[in-house]
Structures are given as C-alpha cells and as structure tokens.
Amino acid sequence: MASINVAGKHIGQGYPVHICAEIGGNHNGVLETALKLIDVAVDAGCDSVKFQKREPKFAIPLEQQTTRRDTPWGNLSYLEYREKLEFGPNEFAIIDEYCKQRGIMWFASAWDIPSVGFLASRDVPVIKIASASLTDTLLLDALASTGRPLILSTGMSTTAEIDEAVSALSNTQLLLCHCNSTYPCPPEDLNLFFIQALQAKFPDIPVGYSGHEVGLPTTIAAVALGACFIERHITLDRTMWGTDQSASIEPLGLKMLVNHIRTVEVALGDGIKRVTEGEISIRDKLRKVKDGSIQEASQR
C-alpha cells in the first residue's frame, strides 16, 4: 500500500489517518501564542503541528515586497510585515524542545532555498511544499536533495503542473495533498472527489487533504473518501488578526474534528461483508427463512 515513513511511523493507506494541526503564521510572531497552539494540538490528540519557514526577501516576489499593508505593528510594506511574523533559530529551538516535551512531532513548509537548509539543520522528519511553490523547480530540487519525505499541496495548480512536480520529485518519498488555496474556501469549490482522482492517477503515492474551509463536515468527508493525511489550520480565536484565522479551527472544534475522524476510521472497516457478532442473535430472532426453508411456528 502507498505510504511514506516519517520518523519511524507510516502515513498512508492502511494506517491511521495522520492529523496535522497547521499553526502556520497564526501565532502572529508571538512565541507564547505558538506554544499555546502546540498545547491545543496535543490536547486534541493531533499527530503533528506544522509551521511555515520563510526568508521573506527570498520568498516574496519582488513586486509584492513594497506593497503596503495595515498590520498590528502599523502600516508596513509586505516585506516588513512578513519579517515581523517570522521565527528565527532561537524561537524554533524553543519550539523543538517544547514539542519534544509534549510528545508531538513538528515540521514546516519551506518557502525558499535558505529555509530548506534551515529546516534540514533542525533535522525535521518531513518538509511540506506549499501550493504556491509547486512550480518552483529550483526549490523542488533543493527539497529533494535533503533526502527527507516531502508533502506536496496541490492548490491553485493544473493537472499538468501537478504531473511535472511529481516527476521532479520522483526519487523522494512523496505524499500529495488535495487542496484549494482559497481562504476560506466555499464548499462548492472543494472538489473532494479529486482525492480519489489523485489516488487513481498515482497509485504508489499516498494522498491526503489540506483544508481551508469553514467547519468540520467536509474534512471528515475527505477521510471517508480515502485521505490518509489531514491538515487544518488552528487558532486560539478566529477573531484574531491574520489572513488565515477565518479558515482556522478553534480548540473545541479541533477536538471534535479529531474525535470524528477516529470514529469514521473505525466505521469504514475493510470492505468485506460479514455477519457481525451483534447481528447473530437478531438474525435468529427476526429471520423467517433460514437455510432456504421457512421456519413454521408451532400452533399447538
């Protein structure tokens, strides 16, 4: 069955769904908030937390760097704003140690080649490729050279672009994530059946789902359709400042999501029809025709 091995654990068909809580930039550059979000993920029963790593001057297109934006730190250029959000070596060292203490894996999306080197130096067990980077051949080559398993999101991409990226990463352990990059994404644009289309097209590659919708039902449906990896953004409060907050899940919702996914996993079964133990006594009581003959009740 299609799977990847991450830190000694398999993610793929036939294994428990890996649930990743995407912290991303929802910490707003505050380490204490990031640590609280790690606690939220652990308390909900998630398997991992994910951050994003950028060197803004390399990751942000030049034409975007000077655009202005109102932020909690005032009206800043987009470059200045992104720099305010970024964690450096000291913060990630604390995050690394805290995740070890709490017993949860962390990893990150690498948005540029220097960030690939940084994450490799931190010995993260897997690296994510954001949808925006799917066509960045130089970045894909740098990620492949790390020898680590990679997770590739397919939002805002054509099937031809996905094919090219998969080909470029053919020598890696790869997991594909169906994704729509609208924040938040309306249900009618989710196209969850593409999970099965990816599975059919790439039978040797496990397929997951990275969701940016509001609510839980559609993410649970992704599991029913075969997604072996689930990623959703999390937040302490959806009213907090930040572009991803409105498409994020608050603590109680995250607990509900994890519980529902685990229930659906058990309910899916193996597809083999059998009479269950609980049905046997009911069958004996209610079935009139048994072994091809009608069982007549005594009239005496």
Average pLDDT taken over every residue of the chain: 94
In a domain, 297, yes or no: no
SS3 state of residue 216: coil
What is the per-residue pLDDT for 299? Answer: 46
Cβ atoms within 10 A of the Cβ of 22, count? 28
Question: Which amino acid appears at position 286 of this protein?
Answer: L
Q: 294 in a domain, yes or no?
A: no
The mean pLDDT value for 170-189 works out to 96
Segment 95-113, tens digit of pLDDT: 999 999 999 999 999 999 9
162 part of a folded domain: yes
* pLDDT, mean of residues 217-246: 95
Indicate if the pLDDT at residue 194 is higher than 90: yes
Above pLDDT 90, what percent of the chain?
81
Confirm whether 281 is domain-assigned: no
> What is the CATH number for 249?
3.20.20.70
Q: Is residue 167 part of a domain?
A: yes
Listed range (68-82, 219-233, 271-285) with the worst mean pLDDT = 68-82
Percent of the chain with pLDDT over 70: 97
Name the band, by pLDDT with cuts 50, 70 and 90, for residue 39. Answer: very high
- Say yes or no to pLDDT of 74 above 80: yes
pLDDT at 127 over 80: yes
Question: Model pTM?
Answer: 0.93
With CA atoms as reference, report the closest residue to 195 among 226, 156, 217: 226
**Which domain covers residue 230, as residue numbers?**
3-274
Q: Is 42 inside any structural domain?
A: yes
Residue 70 lies in a domain: yes
Residue the block writes with tokens 């932020």 = 71
Domain tally, the chain: 1
Q: Read off the pLDDT of residues 41-56 as tens digits, 9 standing for 90 and up.
A: 999 999 999 999 998 8
Q: Predicted confidence band at 294 (pLDDT cuts at 50, 70, 90)? A: low
Complete DSSP assignment for 222-252: HHHTT-SEEEEEB-S-TTSSSTTGGGSB-HH
Residue 237: name the closest of 1, 27, 10 by CA: 27
Neighbour count for residue 215 (Cβ, 10 Å): 13
Angle at Cα 129 formed by Cα 144 and Cα 222, nearest 5°? 125
User: Which two structure tokens, joined as six digits, stand for 151?
Assistant: 């997770």
What does the pLDDT read at residue 199? 98
Query: Does residue 61 belong to any structural domain of this protein?
Result: yes
Q: What is the DSSP string of 140-184?
A: HHHHHTTT--EEEE-TT--HHHHHHHHHHTTTS-EEEEEE---SS
CA angle, 189 then 192 then 198, to 5°: 120
pLDDT band per the 50, 70, 90 thresholds, residue 292? low
Looking at the DSSP assignment, which residues form a beta bridge with residue 210?
179, 231
Q: What is the mean pLDDT of residues 212-221?
A: 97
DSSP three-state, residue 213: coil
55-71 residue pLDDT tens: 888 888 888 888 998 88
The whole-angstrom separation of Cα 159 and Cα 163 is 6
Residue 27 pLDDT more than 90?
yes
Contact 124, 115 (CB under 8 A): no
pLDDT band at 82 (very low <50, low <70, confident <90, very high): confident
